[in-house]
Each structure stands twice: as C-alpha cells, then as structure tokens.
Amino acid sequence: MSTNKVLNIGIVCGEHSGDRLGAGLIKEIKKYSEINLYGIGGPRLEELGFKSEFDFSEINIMGLIQPLMNFRKLTSLRRSLIKLFLEKEIDIFIGIDSPDFNMGIHKALKSNHDNKNIQVVSPSVWGWRQNRVKSINAYIDLTLCLFSFEDNFYKKIGHNSLQLGHPFSKLQKFSKEMVLKKHNLDPNKKYISVIPGSRESEIKYMLPTYIEFIKDHSQENKDYIYLLPAADGKLMVSIMKSFDGLDLPIVIKDNAMQEFLSISELSIVTSGTASLESAILECPTIICYKTNFINYSIISRMLKVDNIGLPNLLLGKSYFVELLQNNFTKENINKAIKETLSFEQSPKDTANILREMLVGIGYSKAAKEITLIWIII
C-alpha cells in the first residue's frame, strides 16, 4: 500500500526512549508515503533528516511540582508548536509519551484543525489519574500502546487502540568478550550497572544515594567495578561532575547501557524504561525511585497499582525489589543485592517471559495504520 499524497506530520517526543520509538515509526511511514515532518525530537529522528525546532530535553520534565515551576516555559513551547502545526496544515499529529505536554496539543489541534491525532505510549491512566480517559477519548483518534495490559484497558472503555509492542521484545544480550574489549574492561573483575536516570531531575535526586552506595560497597568488595551508562553526552558530563574528587572504581560512558547491562552481575536502576531493559538483558534488577517530598506525597495517594517498575507491572507481582522514596538508601540497596542474587527463577527465564509480553503489531503495521487513519477515521 502507498499513497500519492504527501503527508504533513507533526511529531513531539521529549526523551530518548520516545525518540527511538519515533524514529522506528517514521522510518516505516516513509515506505508508504512521502512526508514532511515538523516538531521536536532527538538524535535518532535527526539521523533520518529531521530538524528539531528546539532541544527535546526542554520538555523532559516529570512529576507534579517541576511542571508547575516551568509552567510558563512549557506553555510557550507548546503554543509555538501548535502555531507551527496549524501553519503547516499537518494531516497527522504523533505525540510520543510526554502525555501532559502532548494532550494540550491534541486538544488544540482537534479544536482548530481537521487532522488526526495519534498518541504513542499510553498515559498511565490504568495506574493513576483515570479522569484523563475523558480527554483521551475526546481528542485522540488512536493510541499505540507498548504493553498488552494497556491495550486491554482501552478496549474495555471503547477507545481506539493497538498494541504496537515494544522494541525490547527482540533485545538480546551482547557478547561479554566484545563488551569487555570495546570498553577496555578487566575480565577478572565483577560488574554492577548503576543507572541514575535519563533526566537531569532524576540524576539530582538519585545520584547522591548511588554514590554513597558505591563508596560503601566498594570498600568491602574490591573485585567490583561500577558501570554508569549515561543517556547522552550532556548527562554524562553531569554525572562525571558529581564524582569529581572521588577515587572510586567507576566507568562512565554514554550510549553504553545495553552493553554494560549485558556483562553486569546485577543492576541498580532508576525506575523507567531502563528497568525493563535490564530485566530483558537477563540482568538481576533492583528498581529505585526518589523525587521531592511534595511530588511523592501527592502521587503515592493517587496510585492505583501496587508496583511502579515496568517488569513488575508486566509480571503482575512484586518480583523485582523496589526501593522508593524513604526506602531508597544505601543500606537497603545492600540488603536488596542479597535478595536479588538469590532469586530461584533464572534471569534468562524471566527475560523470555517478559519478551513474549512485549510482542505487538510492530512498526511496519503501525505505520500502515497511521498512513490510513487520516482517510478512514
């Protein structure tokens, strides 16, 4: 199937995992139709010739308090994108993750233009703030879900959705020999991956405790090296600055997460996509999260689920240890290590179970649906 029409597509993603998803979709859409692409994205989209209107990290703001503190900036950026999309008379708007930022665009475009709105990565309405369902039904024509439990949720409420699936369904471990050689690592050492997050705000709240853990653990475990993969060069600089003046057995590199996880005895991960990435790569995982007190006080009261870690949500149980807020301490990390390394089920078996849960229609079929949606909906 192909269309003779040149599709004008608006796209917005605000962090690295969304950038990867966007690039996968756009690459396939180009096989069905010639396109003009406008909006914001990251390095993966830019590799396809896309020019982002501004740095996508500008909207990479989480929680409840931080968006309020940046309200004027976020509102100004959103308005500039809405103006751009209306001027370019886009046929399709694709919002990837960043649900609160993108919902404002979905709403404005529905009110002022005859385009079709697609949201890739479902807002976590199954977990909290379920009142958002009304807006999703009103302003979004199609939601592409990563996980089956999200797609099932939308099917029950009558919203048009498809399970895109997750690219991690095909993710496999890298060769240990290759990783050691590439990063000049000692084959006689043991490795622990410590993943502080993909946002500056996460690094601010998470990294101090991770540093305290590394100080403490490395004193009694001289055979370990701690691997800290950064999501990009900018975050790598921030992480390196936090270790200034400290003589610790660490390796910090950007774009090395999957390689580091592939050789690690275990990982200590800031909750998010990385926790799933770690579990899929057969790395025993400890899931951690901390935010400011006000954020946590509000969010914890609104949650409708018992776990926040993606692997636990998919498995439907508290399998991987979660250390949240006040429980996120160096002492509890050390306790969790002992528990995590004593799991009866092999990491490989757990990874295979999770991979099966992540299979969906894939980028190609999703791209076909996207190029058709402006005609049939």
Please list, in sequence order, all residues whose beta carbon lies within 8 angstroms of the beta carbon of residue 97, skipping any fewer than 6 positions away: 13, 14, 15, 17, 18, 21, 120, 121
Which of 54-68, 253-267, 302-316 tops mean pLDDT? 253-267
CA angle 93, 98, 101 (to 5 degrees): 75
Q: pTM of the entire structure?
A: 0.79
**Euclidean distance between CA atoms 12 and 74, whole angstroms:** 13
Query: Does the pLDDT value for residue 376 go beyond 70?
Result: no
137-156 as b/e, with b when 16 or more CB fall inside 10 Å?
Answer: eebbbbbbbbbbebbebbee
Axis crossing angle, helix 99-112 with helix 71-87, rounded to the nearest 10 = 40
Could you tell me the domains of the chain? 7-165+360-376 (3.40.50.2000), 176-357 (3.40.50.2000)
Taking only the tens place, the pLDDT of each residue in 103-158 is 999 999 998 888 899 999 988 765 556 678 888 899 999 999 998 888 988 999 89
For the ranges 3-17, 50-64, 246-260, the lowest mean pLDDT is seen at 50-64
Rg (Cα) of the chain, in Å, rounded? 21
The 3-state secondary structure of 36-99, one letter per residue: EEEEECCHHHHCCCCCCCCCHHHHCCCCCHHHHHCHHHHHHHHHHHHHHHHHCCCCEEEEECCH
Taking only the tens place, the pLDDT of each residue in 243-276 is 999 999 999 999 899 999 999 999 999 998 899 9
Query: Does the pLDDT value for residue 377 go beyond 50?
Result: no
Please list, in sequence order, all residues whose beta carbon lies within 8 angstroms of the beta carbon of residue 65, skipping any fewer than 6 positions away: 292, 294, 295
